[in-house]
Structures are given as structure tokens and as C-alpha cells.
Amino acid sequence: MFVLICRKMYLTLIVLLLSTPSIIFASGKQIAMKIVEEPTNYGFNTGGFNNQEEVKTLHMRISPSNFSGPQHLRQLLGHCFTKIIDSYKYEFCPYSNITQHEQSLRWNPYSGVLGVWQEWDIVNNTFVAMVMSEGDSCGSVHRTTKVYLQCGNTNQVVNVSEPKTCNYKLVFTTPLVCHPHSILVYPTLNKTLQQEWNLIEGRLQAEEITQKGYDKLLQHLFEKAGYRVPAAAKEKMIQLAKKKEQDLRPQSFETLFQCQSEYNKLKEQVEALRTVLQVNGIHDTTQDKKEHSDGLDDDTPHSFNHMDYEWMHGHRDY
């Protein structure tokens, strides 16, 4: 988190540098020139000192898969279902995403994406769970949720648990799965794929293939039907997401130390520029702008020190 704050301060400095009048020596004449007026976030989506909204902006790192599975579940498309459990609000949007929002008055409660709709878990010819993966990062992995469908009178999230760190299990009840045949896979397949399944079944009966070989052939069939995402496609999508994330952070700092040292370097440049301006008798207009003076006023400490930010204590790390 401190790295984020330091980044923000670094960016503020860049803005300051750019908005400092550049001096162009042309034919002995000094021309003061303003280059940048408005601060921008330079593509960083890091949140800042006083911008809670920015921190809470959630996004799906991959696109959800298309709708697939039993056609009668299509009526769940475009709806979202919320449930509050233990001071967290969960929002499940079938065929789209799952998010979690901490219900807290802290300055920056946790919000995150717990998964993006990908594919079906199929067991024994039955659509068992919706797999929502590639949520927000959680150490070296990304959050994943499996949504188990159970028969119930109303469409609602009844429970969310976290059997393994960052692996969530959500139970959703709906009248749409109450008929015993309503979530069988075979009846949803077209004639071609049903015949293919018949052949695979026959080969298992005739012991031409092992159970393992049978499972593999069925997996492939489910991929053709669009119920599972092929491993290669998954890998491609994840690489694309990683690349996109890197592109968004052209100069992200790995550590607070690295950021701080870059910050100090930049600060020296700003000071040097001020000296040049003073020596040349040019009024430094950036000194007039209070919103640009973070950390650089003479009455504030000249080095970034996270102990200054007592109000941040208790905030969980990103």
C-alpha cells in the first residue's frame, strides 16, 4: 500500500516537473514555456490519498465466456444476486462475475472480484458448478469461485465459504434446477455430439479405452460443446491479461525503497530547476499552486516517510 502512496507522490512530482516553466535559450532570449497544465494519473489505477472511489473501481481481468449450458438457465443472464455474510456483501452475476464488498466504515474497505465466468464443472453427466476464475490476485494466484446450483424456491445466494485460501464456494438455490433431468448434459448436446458420446460410451463398454481415456475424450467433447474452455485458449487468455496489466503499469515500482529513491532523484531535479529559475530571475509559477505542492513545501518533510500516514494503519496490504 505504501508503494502505491509513494507512486502517487512520484507522479505528483512528475506533474510538477512538467509544469515547471522550461527555459529555452533562443537567440539569447529566454522564453518561459508551460508544457503540462493538468495532472493525470498516467494510466495508473492506484488510488490515492483522497480518492476512495478510485480504489474501489473493480474490473474483470478477462472477459467472461459466452453463455453455455442448459438453455432454461438463460433467464439468469443479466441478473445479479446479493447476500451479506459476516460483514461482507457478495454479488453473484451469473455468466458474468462475482464480487465481494466489505461492509465497513473504515476509510478503505476491501472490495474485490472473486471470479469471472469461465466454464462448467461437469460430473457424471451433470452440470454441477459454474466455475468463475481469474478474479483479483491473491499472492501468486487469482481468486476462484465455484458456484453450486441447488434446488430451492427462490433464486438466491444461500452461502459463501472459503474452503481454501482465495478459493470460494458459493451455494445458489434456484427453482430452475429442481427437475431431476434439468441439469443433465447429454440432452443439451446436438445430434452430432450425442452420437460422438455414444461411440465413446461404446468404446468404454468394449474396453477399447480405459476410464482415464474415456474421461479425456469426454473433456474434449465438452470443449467442442462450449461447456469447457480448452487449456490452450485459457493459457492464451491469461497471457493476454498479464500483458494488458503490464502495459498499464509502464513504470511500476516493485518496492517502497525503489519508489522512494526514484522520488528523491526527481525531487533533486525539481530543486535544480528551481535554482536555475531563481538564478535567471524567473518567477516559479508552480510555487503558487497549492495543489501541486504535495511534499515540497518548505514546511513539510522533504523525504517521503510512511510514518507520517498514521491514518493508514489497519489497512490491509494489496
Give the range of 59-67, 135-143, 215-223, 257-265 binding ligand NAG by CB under 6 A. Answer: 59-67
The residue from 27, 50, 71, 124 that contacts ligand NAG (CB under 6 A) is 124
Q: Is residue 238 a contact residue for ligand NAG (CB under 6 A)?
A: no
The residue from 96, 133, 174, 182 that contacts ligand NAG (CB under 6 A) is 96
The residue from 224, 249, 274, 292 that contacts ligand NAG (CB under 6 A) is 224
Tell me which residues in 182-211 interact with ligand NAG (CB under 6 A): 190-193
To ligand NAG, the closest distance from the beta carbon of 179 in angstroms equals: 13
Sorted by sequence, the CB contacts under 8 Å of residue 219 that are 6+ apart come out as 228
The residue from 16, 55, 60, 259 that contacts ligand NAG (CB under 6 A) is 60
To ligand NAG, the closest distance from the beta carbon of 125 in angstroms equals: 6
The residue from 15, 93, 147, 185 that contacts ligand NAG (CB under 6 A) is 93
To ligand NAG, the closest distance from the beta carbon of 199 in angstroms equals: 15
The residue from 31, 35, 58, 199 that contacts ligand NAG (CB under 6 A) is 58
The residue from 155, 159, 188, 252 that contacts ligand NAG (CB under 6 A) is 159
Residue 40 or 150: the one with the smaller Cβ distance to ligand NAG is 150
Which amino acid is it at 98? I
Q: Is residue 59 a contact residue for ligand NAG (CB under 6 A)?
A: yes
Residue 97 or 144: the one with the smaller Cβ distance to ligand NAG is 97
Residues found near ligand NAG in the complex (CB under 6 A): 58-60, 66, 80, 93, 96-97, 99, 113, 124, 158-159, 161, 190-193, 224
